[in-house]
Structure 1
Amino acid sequence: MTHRTRSSRASRVARIVAAALLAAGLTACGGSDDSAPESGAADTAEAVPDQAGGYGPAPAPGSTAEQEAESVTATLVDFAVELDEDSFSAGTHEFTVVNDGGSTHDLVVERDGETVAAVEAMDPGGSTTLTVALEPGEYVLYCSIANHRAMGMETTIRVT
């Protein structure tokens, strides 16, 4: 009987430890998944290219880079990407992305065939912000949902 009690206690402790490790792992992952945000939910997406060309964190709140971020509105309609700016200088830009279309849309910022930044799919009426550092060059902003890009939902910008 003593053997069963120790075995049962050890088994219970092992389950508790396993549950704690699982919870810690999920917390460390931030609960993130690839699903789209709730309908019309406001969200903030931030991606800034790092020195190696990958993604790095956005500027820290209150930093010089954030204070100098240029604000741009990108309006997604069926089937176009409309920007309220037509000239872009190198630096940090904060895009307010608004879905004014009747379909679900997202926005991808691409340079030389590589994704620089993106926002998740938004239902009609949704909006989000995207902070991205743009280096000199040519970028394409487009919707990657279904065949929206092929239907003309893209625009090219030149950053000087």
Structure 2
Amino acid sequence: MKSMKLTIAAALAFSTLGLVGCGTDPTETIAGSNIDASVVSNKITGSVQEWKVNVSAQTAEAGEVIFAMANFGSIQHEFLVTKTSYDPGKSPIGANNRFDEEDKGLTVVDEIPEWAVNESKVLKINLEAGTYELLCNIEGHYANGMHTTFTVVPSDESSTESTTDSTVPEAEAVSNDITGSVQEWAVGVSAHEAKAGDVKFTMENQGTIPHEFIIVKTDFEPGKIPLGADNRFDEEGEGVFVPGEISEWNPGTTGTVTLKLDPGKYQLLCNIAGHYANGMFAQLTVS
């Protein structure tokens, strides 16, 4: 990923809140009034912005829950996971226009501290069964509506929806015309081998947020490219070579790229912060 800012900055030229041609961020149709309350997922995508918190599911099973959150606002926000006994939006607000995070009626389990506009962060957290609020507690933000409910159920009371279902066809033995998909958190391709020369990739974004598709020549094992402090790997770092990519593109759309590839081992992946670490990669061998 060259920069998340390029894609979203361009989108903001067309919409005050989100993506090109949509008028909203890609999680809004999922996390708004049309959300399917029956969806149970422990891999959540979403966004924070003025003045709301959107998530792709509002129920998870007890255990590890992964939140991949983008800041689609115009100012910095934070993302708190709060176990609470209060009704949604009713945590008592103090004189500083924030609620007391030490209040006996709630527990701040973990958080993503304030982060910059047009960037994404990932939070992995173990949650017990109970009622939670996902929110921003910067002065005035909670009171203005930056919160949403979240329920964690015991793991034996529901069936977690798969987040890696895909319409990718069965893998061919060898192909230089590869189709596939990216989504949270998987990369699926129709072939894992190609001949040296021109290789065409046609990839659909079946996820709920923008993704990218990077072709990386590397001898690192799949999923083992070293990550930096920003939860991405250095695309100009030692041991990796990026011959090309499909830059970030929107959910429900298709991107293509044709590259001349030399023999070697490759990884096909998304390098947006946290996406590679969460499993968005696939292998390709060129002979």
Is TM-score (shorter-chain normalized) higher than 0.5? Answer: yes
Whether the 8 Å contact between 2:176 and 2:195 is mirrored in structure 1 is: no
Same amino acid, percent of matched pairs? 27
> 3-state SS of the aligned residue for 1:35?
helix
Structure 2 matches for 1:65-80, cutoff 5 A?
Answer: 70-80=176-186
Query: Is the aligned partner of 1:101 residue 2:101?
Result: no
CA contact (8 A) 1:40 1:127 kept: no
248, 260, 268: which one aligns with 1:141: 268
Matched, 1:81 2:208: no
2:186 and 2:279 in contact (8 A); partners too: yes
Structure 2 residue aligned with 1:35:
6
Which residue identity does 1:117 align to in structure 2? G
The answer to whether the 8 Å contact 2:210/2:250 transfers is yes
1:152–1:90: structure 2 CA closer, same or farther, 3 Å change rule? same
* Larger helix fraction of residues: 1
Aligned to 2:196: 90
Superposed CA deviations along residues 31-55 of structure 1, whole A, max 9, x for unmatched, are xxx72265478xxxxxxxxxxxxxx
Structure 2 counterpart of 1:107, which letter?
F
Show structure 1 runs of 4+ deviating over 2 A. Answer: 37-41
TM-score, L = length of structure 2: 0.33
How many residues are matched?
100
Given that 1:40 and 1:122 are in contact with CA atoms closer than 8 Å, whether structure 2 keeps it comes out as no
Per-residue deviation, residues 9-63 of structure 1 (Å, max 9, x unmatched): xxxxxxxxxxxxxxxxxxxxxxxxx72265478xxxxxxxxxxxxxxxxxxxxxx
Letter in 2 for 1:143: C
Tell me, yes or no, if the aligned pair for 2:192 and 2:283 is still in contact at 8 Å.
Answer: no
TM-score by length of 1: 0.57
What residue ranges of structure 2 are gaps of 5+ in the alignment?
12-18, 22-174, 219-239
> Following the alignment from structure 1 to structure 2, what is the Cα–Cα distance between the partners of residues 100 and 125?
6
C-alpha distance in 1 between matches for 2:184 and 2:6: 22
Alpha-carbon spacing, 1:89–1:40, altered in 2? closer, same or farther (3 Å): farther
Equivalent-residue separation in structure 2 for 1:159 and 1:40 (angstroms): 35
Name the structure 1 match of 2:101: none
Question: Which structure has the bigger radius of gyration?
Answer: 1
Q: Indicate which of 249, 252, 257 corresponds to 1:122.
A: 249
Q: Which has the higher contact order (CA 8 A, sep 6+)?
A: 1
Letter in 2 for 1:108: I
